[in-house]
């Protein structure tokens, strides 16, 4: 295959943690990436988002914005003004995305399988939606690309329930999805000369969720299958790197880390047991009595105060808001497992994490305004110690449970590495990648973007270019 490498190629590997990556390389399971690191240096640790969920993190990557600006706060989010929930997709995202900014600047863009890109937006190029797509009919822009992928046997996603019924079948399915993903990646890489090319691997997140503990335990069968999967991934990555060549500009990153699960903690059950929430014994796992509930939660660890005037049947007065949050935080921080170990490392307020330091916060009128993304942020975020996976589980039989899930997301240890691309210095966060990408592409950075440091001139129209970095 003979191609002209894109001006920048991004390969994102969902949920590949720093610790796991280092172990796989040390054990000889990822020789291609080990060689890449020997040439370009060990990967840097990168922070995710709160919560460290794929759709939240990749939206921060794509927009360069904190969730308080782009409006995606979890895999499941709330419908404004109700107690109903919804799966947020690309249509919920506020703010410009890097593929939109690049397209407006005349760049040819390819984006495939990135979370929160379904339904696909119209861009100057091709966009193939991520795992929330239910069929090929609306999978892509242009739509004809979806028809081509369907004919080629492309797989949108696996059946995640396989992880609960047969881990062996799950791995076989993941290998097939991975093969088809890379096959499509290589096809479209040759399809046209792209300025910006981003392809996403989701299968790693899936296998880490369901086999991570077996891998660390050295299970004779499932650990072997886990390692075999990553060797296949490494081999396919080797094909891509060989095609691109040593002069190409490449960014490889993940969105969050992973760690084995010790316990699943049903936080909704805890709120009910301590009197903060009054459940309704119904099939709906989110069912509670709003007239007598002071706080409720969503996975993972997102806690909402049932505030009068904001919630449709809120019972907590605005004058009580801060006092209620403070009291609830104290109770949550004292939560312990059966061995007396603390569950919650820290509790953060929405103000402390959903509006970055150094940027003007919304005025008071917007804090509870449903049309403003920040208003829909959880009032508190419980950040657990590694291994305690915070769920909702209002009507769970027990506070601490175990399921087929073996791995959980972590905030601290995502990875980031590059070839011929300058990364931000200092504390590396996933939302800072948009700044690095747009600088590399010599495209204007929108003024609302959360930049690490304003070394470059920002502007308001896509036609303007950067000024030179000052000496």
Q: Where are the domains of the chain?
A: 8-259+410-440, 263-401
pLDDT of residue 356: 54
CA angle 74, 350, 17 (to 5 degrees): 50
What is residue 311's three-state secondary structure?
strand
CATH number for the domain running over 263-401: 3.30.1360
**What phi and psi, each to the nearest 5 degrees, are found at residue 9?**
-115, 130
Distance CA 36, CA 381 (A): 37
pLDDT of residue 447: 86
Fold equal for 8-259+410-440 and 263-401: no
Distance CA 328, CA 350 (A): 14
Residue with tokens 């010599």: 442
User: Taking the alpha carbons of 222, 223, 226, 232 in that order, is the dihedral positive or negative?
Assistant: negative
Contact 189, 3 (CB under 8 A): yes
Residue with tokens 């760049």: 107
Contact 203, 15 (CB under 8 A): no
pLDDT of residue 361: 56
User: Taking the alpha carbons of 394, 399, 404, 407 in that order, is the dihedral positive or negative?
Assistant: positive
pLDDT of residue 164: 87
Distance CA 81, CA 320 (A): 20
Distance CA 390, CA 383 (A): 9
Contact 204, 29 (CB under 8 A): no
CATH number for the domain running over 8-259+410-440: 3.40.720.10
Contact 197, 184 (CB under 8 A): no
- Ranges of the chain whose pLDDT falls below 70: 1-2, 282-286, 356-371, 452-471
Summarised one tens digit per residue, pLDDT across range 414-436 is 999 999 999 988 899 999 999 99
Contact 290, 312 (CB under 8 A): yes
Q: Classify residue 369 by its DSSP letter.
A: -
**What phi and psi, each to the nearest 5 degrees, are found at residue 412?**
-80, -35
DSSP string for residues in 404-467: S--EEEESS-EEEEEES-PPPPSS-BGGGHHHHHHHHTT-PPPTTS--S---S---SSTT--PP
Residues in contact with 233: Cβ distance below 8 Å, sequence separation at least 6, in sequence order: 13, 30, 178, 201, 203, 204
Distance CA 454, CA 471 (A): 13
Distance CA 30, CA 250 (A): 18
Burial (Cβ within 10 Å: 0-12, 13-18, ≥19) of residue 112:
buried
Residue with tokens 């759709």: 55
pLDDT of residue 205: 97
């Amino acid at each position: 295959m003979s191609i002209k490498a894109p001006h920048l190629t991004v390969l994102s590997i969902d949920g590949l943690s720093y610790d796991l990556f280092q172990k796989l390389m040390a054990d000889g399971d990822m020789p291609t990436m080990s060689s890449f690191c020997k040439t370009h240096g060990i990967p840097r640790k990168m922070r995710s988002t709160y919560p460290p969920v794929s759709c939240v993190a990749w939206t921060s990557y794509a927009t360069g914005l904190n969730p308080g600006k782009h409006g995606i706060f979890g895999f499941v989010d709330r419908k404004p003004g109700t107690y109903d929930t919804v799966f947020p997709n690309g249509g919920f995202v506020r703010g410009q995305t890097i593929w939109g900014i690049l397209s407006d600047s005349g760049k040819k863009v390819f984006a495939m399988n990135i979370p929160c890109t379904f339904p696909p937006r119209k861009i100057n190029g091709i966009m193939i939606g991520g795992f929330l797509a239910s069929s090929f009919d609306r999978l892509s822009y242009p739509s004809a690309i979806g028809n081509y992928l369907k004919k080629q046997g492309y797989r949108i996603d696996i059946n995640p329930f396989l992880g609960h019924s047969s881990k062996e079948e799950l791995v076989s399915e993941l290998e097939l999805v991975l093969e088809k993903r890379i096959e499509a990646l290589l096809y479209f890489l040759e399809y046209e000369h792209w300025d910006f090319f981003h392809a996403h691997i989701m299968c790693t997140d899936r296998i880490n969720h369901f086999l991570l503990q077996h891998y660390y335990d050295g299970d004779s069968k499932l650990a072997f299958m886990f390692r075999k999967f990553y060797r296949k991934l490494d081999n396919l990555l080797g094909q891509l790197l060989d095609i691109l060549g040593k002069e190409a500009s490449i960014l490889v990153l993940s969105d969050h880390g992973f760690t084995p699960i010790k316990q699943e903690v049903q936080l909704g059950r805890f709120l009910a047991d301590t009197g903060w929430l009054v459940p309704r014994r119904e099939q709906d796992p989110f069912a509670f009595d709003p007239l007598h509930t002071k706080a409720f939660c969503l996975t993972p660890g997102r806690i909402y105060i049932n505030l009068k005037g904001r919630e449709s049947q809120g019972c907590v007065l605005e004058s009580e808001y801060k006092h209620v949050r403070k009291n609830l935080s104290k109770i949550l921080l004292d939560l312990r497992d059966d061995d007396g170990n603390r569950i919650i490392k820290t509790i953060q307020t929405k103000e402390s994490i959903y509006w970055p330091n150094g940027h003007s916060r919304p005025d008071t009128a917007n804090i509870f305004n449903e049309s403003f993304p920040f208003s829909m942020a959880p009032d508190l975020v419980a950040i657990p110690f590694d291994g305690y996976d915070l769920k909702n589980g209002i009507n769970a039989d027990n506070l601490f449970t175990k399921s087929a899930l073996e791995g959980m997301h972590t905030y601290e240890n995502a990875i980031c590495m590059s070839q011929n691309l300058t990364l931000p210095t200092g504390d590396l966060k996933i939302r800072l990648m948009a700044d690095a990408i747009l600088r590399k592409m010599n495209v204007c950075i929108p003024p609302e973007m959360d930049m690490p440091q304003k070394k470059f001139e920002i502007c308001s129209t896509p036609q303007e270019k950067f000024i030179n970095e000052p000496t």
